[in-house]
Each structure stands twice: as C-alpha cells, then as structure tokens.
Amino acid sequence: MRSTLSFITAILVLSLTFNVLAFEAGEAKVQALEKGQRAPFSGMLFPTEMAVKLGLKVERLEKHLTLDVDREKRFCQAQLEFGERLLQLETNRRDNEIEILRTQIADQQEMLDDPIPWYKTWTFGLVVGVVSSVLLVAASAALAFSFN
C-alpha cells in the first residue's frame, strides 16, 4: 500500500516536473516502467526518488519565486509610498516658505506705503537722548558753578 502511494505520488510529481521542464516541448509523457522493460518513447529515465526530489525542488522554487515576487512588490510599493510622502512633505515645506515670503513682502510694502512718522524713528530717539544728556550735564554744571 505504501509503495503504491509513493508510486502514485512520484507519477504526479514527475508529471509536474516534466510539465515545468518541458514547457515548450508540449505535453509531457509519463510512463511507469519495470526493470528490463522497453521504453515506449525516447526521453530521460529517472528513478522514482529522483523524480520526487525534482518535483519537490520545483514546488519549492515556485514557492520561493512567489514569495520573492510578493516581497519585491511590497518593497516597490513601500518605496513608491515613501517617495509620494516625501514629495508631499517637500511641497508643503515650499508652500510654507512661499507664504512666509509673501507675508514679509506685504509687510515691507505696507511700510513703504505708510512711512513711519519722524518722531517714531530710532534716530529721533537717539538725538533726543543725546541732547537730553548734554542738557542735563550742562544744567548740573551751571548749578554747581552758581553755588560756588
């Protein structure tokens, strides 16, 4: 029973192997042979164990291929999403910079359109401070001179 089951499994795996290996050659032919029996067609003869190993290897490689393709798809999708997010962040940053520059331009234009009165400038404050200091020193010197 066990050998019959292994034989059927080997035939199924062997048919899968030949289908994969001889894809362009057309449909694979599988025929069970006994020792000393003449082959019904020309081709390659594999022991059952070798056919099973080849079939398992093909299945494993197909699974690896599927996993590799899925992994690469996910990686490419992640790269695409990262690039889109990076582009969006860069666009937002540039938009913010443009808005700041527009605000600065509007402020400077407002300053040009509506000039500061002369008594609110820093030079007026400096002149008043210097003159006040000189007058204070002169007044204190005059008072000191008048008491002597």
Q: Residues 14, 30: contact at Cβ < 8 Å?
A: yes
E strands of the chain, at which residues? none
Neighbours of 56 (CB within 10 A): 13
Check whether 21 has a pLDDT greater than 50: no
Closest CA to 14 of 35, 28, 4: 28
- The Cα–Cα gap between 128 and 43 comes to 112
Cα 71-84-96 angle, rounded to 5 deg: 155
Whether residue 66 is found in the same domain as residue 123 = no
Residue 126 belongs to domain spanning: 118-148
pLDDT band at 22 (very low <50, low <70, confident <90, very high): very low
Same domain, 54 and 28: yes
| Mean of per-residue pLDDT scores for the chain | 83
Cβ neighbours of residue 56 closer than 8 Å, sequence gap 6 or more: 13
pLDDT-derived band at 11 (thresholds 50, 70, 90) equals: low
User: Could you tell me if 122 and 60 lie in one domain?
Assistant: no
Residues 89, 137 within the same domain: no
HSE-up of residue 78 (Cα within 13 Å, Cβ side): 6
Q: Are residues 49 and 82 in the same domain?
A: yes
Residues 111 and 133 in one domain: no
pLDDT in tens, 94-146: 999 999 999 999 999 988 888 888 888 889 999 999 999 999 999 999 888 88
Cα–Cα distances in Å, from 123 out to 55, 60, 119, 120? 94, 86, 9, 9
Total domains present in the chain = 2
Q: Quick one: 85 and 134 in the same domain?
A: no
What's the CA gap between 39 and 145, in Å, rounded?
A: 140
For the beta carbon of residue 20, count every other beta carbon within 10 angstroms: 15
Q: Which of 36-50, 74-88, 131-145 has the lowest mean pLDDT?
A: 36-50
